[in-house]
Structure 1
Amino acid sequence: MNTSTVIVHGATGIQGAAIVRGLLSAGHRVRGIVRRNSFSRLHADAEPVQADLLDPGSLAGAYSGADAVIVQLPLVFTDLALRQAEAVLDGLRKAGVRRVVLNTGTVLPPAPVGVPFVDARVLLSAELSRGAEAATVVAPARQYMENLVAPWSAPLVRAGEVAYPLPRELPVPWVALDDLGAAVAGVITATAPPPLRIVAGPQALTGDEVAAELSAALGQPVRWNSISPNVYREMLAPHLGAEAAAGIAAAYTPPPSGAPAPPELDPPELETGTTSLRDWAARQNWRVDQS
């Protein structure tokens, strides 16, 4: 087994924690960049590291001695996101990191769109390869299953309703975060890591099919309810704050008429996870709100 020392940004977040688990399961040494008040949330087998996300020197120090860095930006929807992205790029170059993986956490457009949250990730995806020998962008094909058990969704699911801002008839390959973690670990050990890795779930499910899978896992009837992005924003706001809620909800707003369709996925770029929605749902504790 090829063991590496890997730095993980956002190691205590929902996505970051899944990536840490995947890396540790693959035998890697993990150092998680965390805030001082979140040390206790870091996986017990990972080493905490502090760094200032706006200070390239601080970041370069945190990256020192690492074989690879997993970059994830926080949920910031102002121009601060672009400053964070620029500092990370500068820090990576200063430290001379050889292998870098960007987890976008969302589907990205091919060019900036004037939204800092999106544009910061577009900037990173375009510039990572200029400072590292191997750079890979990892992104979901669509939504994460964990969105369904989030604190704004789980109570509704328990009550028999999936309220989500997607069309009922749209087939979506929902992906589990553990499959994301496995995909990132695979990129770290790959002899020739790809520039892009899209992670999808094993099934493309319509809204009614999602409800049917949840019904089977929970042992109770669950129905699908397509809601507007604005209603979704109202669901998110009490948990994430108004700014983050508005930013996330905006990502679900349909593109304007005449906008170019997203490119078709290239099969070599696609990695299909193994976790079905029903199996994932059966493992969740739906009686306890997630955080």
Structure 2
Amino acid sequence: MNSSTVIVHGATGTQGAAIVRGLLAAGHRVRGVVRTAPAALHPDAEPVRADLLEPGSLAAAYTGADAVIVQLPLVFTDHAVRQAEAVLAGLRKAGVERVVFNTGTVLPPGPIGVPFVDARVLLSAELIQGVEAATVVAPARQYMENLVAPWSAPLVRAGEVAYPLPRELPVPWVALDDLGSTVADLITATTPPPLRIVAGPQALTGDEVAAELSAVLGHPVRWNSISPEAYRAMLAPHLGAEAAEGIAGVYTPPPPGAPTPPEPDPSVLVTGTTSLRDWAARQDWRTA
């Protein structure tokens, strides 16, 4: 197994922490990009300071790294696009040869006028310029960890999954540990693909999700399809009004007549191994 030095953006976040664990488990040396005291950084990772709006600062942080894992923060203003541009400039200035960009969400094929989305679309499209091996990683749909987030877990404990998805929609929920192992595999891939979509091993309807959680928690759990606006109200006390509105907007249905996003090519799909029931059994629902 080849060991690499890997820079990870967002290393203290929920998705970033899972990627850090996957990289460390694969034997890589990890440096997490931080701006302030990295209290939440994995103890086996090394902090490296950088400013996400300063290409020179980013290039200095990337120097000497074998690979960079890029993740953009939850920013819903024009700062998001500026951050994406700074990262691209920093990567090119440092001459980074291998990059994995975790979009963190399903992306449309082009800009839609929402900075949070457009920054990710820009970075996905421009990475191939000046980077020898670049892979964009995205989930097929939602992450299981959304169900144990602070705005969801108390309701699940009380017997309700409140989520802005149709009850009848089969969703291949993905565990973040499977995202982490996928990213770790890409770091040492001989020919990394330009796109990798991570799906869970099961496509579950809302009622099937509720049944799996019921089996683990030992009491009935029901699925409740809520509106994006209701989801925004759930998120706001935990993430703030701006982030809550932006995330809820991702779940807002497209206007009538808008083209339906194509299903991903099977050749870019990788299927995780963690079932929803196994994932749920590992969570501490008493304190979540």
Same fold (TM over 0.5): yes
Per the alignment, residue 247 of structure 2 pairs with 248
Partner AA of 1:93 in structure 2: R
1:284 aligned to 2:287? no
Aligned residue for 2:178?
179
Q: Counterpart in 2 of 1:105? A: 104
Deviations along 1:49-87, whole A, 9 cap, x unmatched? Answer: 110000000000000000000000000000000000000
3-state secondary structure, aligned to 2:39? helix
Instruction: Determine the structure 2 residue equivalent to 1:166.
Output: 165
Q: Letter of the 2:94 partner, please give it.
A: A
Letter in 2 for 1:251: V
Give, in angstroms, the shift of residue 23 of structure 1: 0.4
Partners of 1:192 and 1:163 in 2: CA distance = 41
Residues in 1 aligned to 2:133 and 2:220: alpha-carbon distance in whole angstroms:
47
**1:35, CA displacement in angstroms?**
2.9
Structure 2-normalised TM-score?
0.99
* Corresponding residue number in structure 1 for 2:87: 88
Deviation at 1:89?
0.3
| C-alpha separation in 1, matches of 2:22 and 2:227 | 34
Which residue of 2 is the match for residue 18 of structure 1?
18
State how 1:17-36 maps to structure 2 within 5 Å. 17-36=17-36
Q: How far did residue 288 of structure 1 move? A: 1.0
Deviations, residues 240-280 of structure 1 (Å, cap 9, x unaligned)? 00000000000000111111111122111000000000000
The corresponding residue for 2:130 is 131
Q: Distance in 2 between matches of 1:265 and 1:85?
A: 24
Where does residue 8 of structure 2 map in the other structure?
8
Match of 2:192 in 1: 193
Structure 2 unmatched ranges of 5 or more: none
Task: Tell me the secondary structure at the aligned position of residue 41 of structure 1.
Answer: coil
The reply on whether 1:216 has 2:215 as its aligned counterpart is yes
Query: Unaligned stretches of 5+ in structure 1?
Result: none
Note the 1:57-72 alignment, pairs <5 A: 57-72=56-71
Name the structure 2 match of 1:153.
152
- Equivalent pair of 2:35/2:51 in contact (CA under 8 Å): no
Q: Do structure 1's residue 232 and structure 2's residue 196 form an aligned pair?
A: no
Q: Distance in 1 between matches of 2:279 and 2:169?
A: 20
**Are residues 1:115 and 2:114 paired?**
yes
| Preserved CA contact (<8 Å) 2:7 2:67 | yes
Aligned partner letter, 1:9: H
Specify the alignment match of 2:260 in structure 1. Answer: 261
Distance 1:255 1:108 in 2: 13
Following the alignment from structure 2 to structure 1, what is the Cα–Cα distance between the partners of residues 156 and 141? 20
CA displacement 1:3-37 (0-9 Å, x = unmatched): 11100000000000000000001111100002323
Q: In 2, distance between residues paired with 1:265 and 1:74?
A: 25
> Which amino acid in structure 1 is aligned with residue 239 of structure 2?
L
SS of residue matched to 1:40: coil
> Number of residues paired by the alignment?
288
**Aligned partners of 2:116 and 2:266: how far apart in 1?**
28
| Cross-structure match for 1:275 | 274
How big is each residue's C-alpha offset from its partner over 1:62-115, in whole Å with a ceiling of 9 and x where there is no partner? 000000000000000000000000000000000000000100000001100000
What secondary structure does 2:169 align onto?
A: coil
Q: Deviation above 3 Å: which 4+ runs of structure 1?
A: none
Letter in 1 for 2:66: D
State how far apart, in whole Å, the 2-side matches of 1:131 and 1:218 are: 49
Please give the alpha-carbon distance, in whole angstroms, between the structure 2 residues aligned to 1:260 and 1:269: 22
Please report how far the alpha carbon of residue 2 of structure 1 lies from its aligned counterpart in structure 2 after TM superposition: 1.2
**Identical pairs, percent:** 84
Structure 2 residue identity aligned to 1:193: P
Using the TM superposition, give the Cα deviation of residue 40 of structure 1 relative to its aligned residue in structure 2, in angstroms.
1.8
Local SS of the residue matching 1:125: helix
Cα distance in 1 for partners of 2:216, 2:266 equals: 31
Match in the other structure for 1:50: 49
